[in-house]
Amino acid sequence: MQRLVDAFVNSVRAFRRLAATETAFQQELLLLALALPAGWFISVSWRGYALLVGAVLLLIMVEVLNTGIEAACDAISREFHIDIQLAKDCGSLAVLISIVIAGGVWGIAIIERIIGAPI
């Protein structure tokens, strides 16, 4: 049980630090705050609502992992190294892919709401 408590404390510490210092994380938290009520009006079912919110949470999760990769790389060296650049670029690509996924999920949901039928 203590490991779960310690993991929770570590997670809260990371959340606070990211929320205080990382602009992308702050923007995505704002997006989540907007998505919670907007998803309620856009979705046509509970499953749809969960998918809309889940897409934003996926984006946030990938951003957290990307920030972790960047922090680990910076801890190793701040000088240019081709492998470090690749690691950071891959993290950035993962964020971009999650943005495309979230945008697609939200786009389809909005279109379904407008036309009144599933695509």
Q: Which residues of 52-71 are buried (b: 16+ CB within 10 A; e: fewer)?
A: bbbbbbbbbebbbebbebbe
pLDDT digits (tens, 9 = 90+) for 19-53: 999 999 999 999 999 999 999 999 989 999 999 99
Check whether 24 is labelled as a binding-site residue. yes
Residue 6: inside a domain, yes or no? no
Residue 17: inside a domain, yes or no? no
For the chain, the domain total comes to 1
Residues of the chain below pLDDT 70: none
Check whether 6 is labelled as a binding-site residue. no
CATH number of the domain at 103, please.
1.10.287.3610
pTM value is 0.91
Residue 97: inside a domain, yes or no? yes
Residue 13: inside a domain, yes or no? no
Residue 5: inside a domain, yes or no? no
Q: Which two tokens stand for residue 76?
A: 């190793």
Rounded CA gap, 20 and 114, in Å? 37
Handedness of CA 29, 56, 10, 4 (dihedral sign): positive
Residue 9: inside a domain, yes or no? no
Catalytic positions are: 63
| HSE-up of residue 60 (Cα within 13 Å, Cβ side) | 20
Check whether 71 is labelled as a binding-site residue. no
Residue 70: inside a domain, yes or no? yes
Domain extent, residue 111, equals: 23-115
